Amino acid sequence: MAFSDVFDTSLIHDAVERSVYARTGDVRDALAVGVQTLEAAAALCSPAAGAMLEEMAQRAHASTVERFGNTVALYAPLYLSNHCVCTCTYCGFSMGLDIKRKTLRIDEVIREARTLGQRGFRNILLVSAEHPKHVNAEYLAQCVAETKRIAQYVGLEVAAAETEDYRKYVAAGCDGVVLYQETYDPAIYAQHHLGGPKKSYRPRLDALERAARAGVRHLGIGALLGLADWRFEALALFAHARYLEKQCWRSQINISFPRINPSAGDFAPAQPVGDAQLVQLMCLFRIAFPTAGIVLSTREPAALRDALLPVGVTHMSAGSSTEPGGYAAPGNAGEQFQLEDKRDVDAMSQRVRELGYEPVFKDWAEMRSAPYPVAAP
C-alpha cells in the first residue's frame, strides 16, 4: 500500500467545504481533544479558528517548548545544480528559462561545504534541480559522502527517486530527504508541471515512503503555498503526515510551509497566502503533530521569521544562497528564487539568542557509516 492508494482528494475538498461552517465550539473541541481526525484539522483551519489565532498560537508555543525546549536548529542549503529537464511554472530553474546553468563539480561541492562548515554549520541540506545526466544518483551519493565529512547531518532536497537510489543515498550518509509535493491537487499540479519527470504526480506523492523504506531517518514534507487553496493544501498535508507517521514510524517528520517567492520566471501565485494564514497553518500543524519539526527558510523576511520562531519553528536556515556555488564563489549561476532574509549566520544567531533561544548547529552524530575510523578498544 502507498499513500496514493488511500489519498482521496474528494474527501479533502469536502472537509474544506465543511470547515467554512465550523464554529468556535468546534475549534475549542478540537483543541481540547486533540487533532487526530481530518474533521478536527478542518476545524483548526476554519475561519472560526482564524479568529482564535492568539489562543492557537499560545498552545502551539507551549507545545513546541515542551518538546523542543528553548532551542532552534540552524541549517544551510547547499545548491548543487540548476540544470533542469523539468518545466515548472513557478521555478527559477525551469528548463526553458534563460539563466546561467551550473552543476558543481565534486571539488566545488567540497569547497561550498567547507565554507559552510567554517561558518559553523553542521547541518547541510543539499538541493538540486532535476537532470538525469548532470545530477544522477551516483553524483548525489558522492555529494552526500563528501559533505558528510564536514557536516554530521546531511539532507537531500532533490528529484523524487526509487527505493534503490534512496538506499545509495543512505549508504553515503544521507540523514533526511525533503520532498515537497508542491500541490496536492492533481489538476492544479498538472497546470504547473508541464514537462519532465516531475510532471508525474503520483510517483512524487509516494517517494517519501520509498525513502523511509530505504532507511532515511527524517522526512520533510510540504506544499508550495500559493498554487491552490491553502485550506486544501493544509488538510491534504495533514492526511499525508498522519499516514507517514503510522506507516513510517521510524522516521521523524518535518513540515515546511514555503510560500512562492519572485524568481526568474516572474510567476504570480494564483492564491497567495497571507501572514495570518501562514500562522494558522503553523499552529494547526504544531498542535496536530507536537513531535514534528517545523522548518522555516530564508524565503520569508527577517522580521516575520523572528515573529514566527516562538510560534512553533524548530529548524531555520540562515545566511542562505540558492545559487549553485553561491557561498564560495557567488555570481556564477542563476538562483532558484529570491531570498527575503539576507542576514548572515552570526547576525541570525545573535537574533535567535535575543529572542530567548539557543541556536543549535550540531544536533546529530554520524551513527552508521564511518567518516573517520572509530575502533573497538
Partner 1 sequence: MLRKNRVLLRLSQCSPGTAGGMPKEHISTSHEEDSLTDLLSLGGRTFASRLIVGTGKFSSPELMADALAASGAEMVTVALRRVDLDMPSKAITDFIDQRRYLILPNTSGAADAVEAVRLARLARAAGLPPWIKVEVIPDPRYLMPDPVETLKACEILVGEGFTVLPYIHADPVLAKRLEETGVAAVMPLAAPIGSGRGLKMEAAIAIIIEQATLPVIVDAGLGVPSHAAAAMEMGADAVLVNTAIATAANPVRMARAFMLGVEAGRAARQAGRSPELAVASASSPLTGFLRER
Identify which of 16, 11, 44 has the alpha carbon closest to the alpha carbon of residue 30.
44
Residue 281-310 contact track with partner 1, rule CB under 8 A, x = bound:
----------x-------------------
Cα distance between residue 74 and residue 57, in whole Å = 22
Q: How far is the CB of 120 from partner 1 (least distance, A)?
A: 7
Q: Does 162 bind partner 1 (CB under 8 A)?
A: no
Q: Does 9 bind partner 1 (CB under 8 A)?
A: no
Q: How far is the CB of 230 from partner 1 (least distance, A)?
A: 26
The span of 24-32, 106-114, 255-263, 365-373 binding partner 1 (CB under 8 A) equals 365-373
Residue from 187, 342, 353, 371 in contact with partner 1 (CB under 8 A): 353
Residue from 10, 96, 107, 356 in contact with partner 1 (CB under 8 A): 356
Q: Does 250 bind partner 1 (CB under 8 A)?
A: yes
Map the footprint of partner 1 across residues 42-71, applying CB under 8 A.
65-71
Is 118 or 200 the residue whose CB approaches partner 1 more closely?
A: 118
Helix (H) or strand (E) holding 275: helix 275-288
Q: How far is the CB of 58 from partner 1 (least distance, A)?
A: 14
Q: For helices 230-247 and 9-19, what crossing angle results, to 10°?
A: 130
Residue from 81, 152, 298, 320 in contact with partner 1 (CB under 8 A): 152
Q: What are phi and psi of 199, to 5 degrees?
A: -60, -30
For residue 32, what is its C-alpha cell?
Answer: 481540547
Identify which of 57, 46, 2 has the alpha carbon closest to the alpha carbon of residue 24.
46
- 106 Cα distance to chain centroid: 25
Residue from 115, 251, 277, 314 in contact with partner 1 (CB under 8 A): 251
CB 49 within 8 A of CB 235: no
Map the footprint of partner 1 across residues 110-129, applying CB under 8 A.
117, 120, 122
Residue from 7, 166, 230, 361 in contact with partner 1 (CB under 8 A): 361
Q: Does 100 bind partner 1 (CB under 8 A)?
A: no
Q: Does 364 bind partner 1 (CB under 8 A)?
A: yes
Amino acid type, 122: R
Is 135 or 172 the residue whose CB approaches partner 1 more closely?
A: 172
Q: Does 360 bind partner 1 (CB under 8 A)?
A: yes
Q: Does 340 bind partner 1 (CB under 8 A)?
A: no
CB 325 within 8 A of CB 255: no
Q: How far is the CB of 344 from partner 1 (least distance, A)?
A: 17
Which residues on adjacent β-strands are paired with residue 317?
A: 75
**How crowded is residue 369: how many other Cβ atoms within 10 Å of its Cβ?**
11
DSSP string across 223-244: B-BTSS-HHHHHHHHHHHHHHH
Sign of the CA dihedral running 145, 149, 155, 157: negative
Is 88 or 219 the residue whose CB approaches partner 1 more closely?
A: 219
Helix (H) or strand (E) holding 72: strand 71-81
Q: For helices 163-172 and 137-148, what crossing angle results, to 10°?
A: 20
Q: How far is the CB of 99 from partner 1 (least distance, A)?
A: 36
Sign of the CA dihedral running 179, 182, 184, 188: negative
Question: Which parts of this chain interact with partner 1 (CB under 8 A)?
Answer: 65-71, 117, 120, 122, 152, 217, 245, 249-253, 291, 353, 356-358, 360-365, 367-368, 370, 374-377
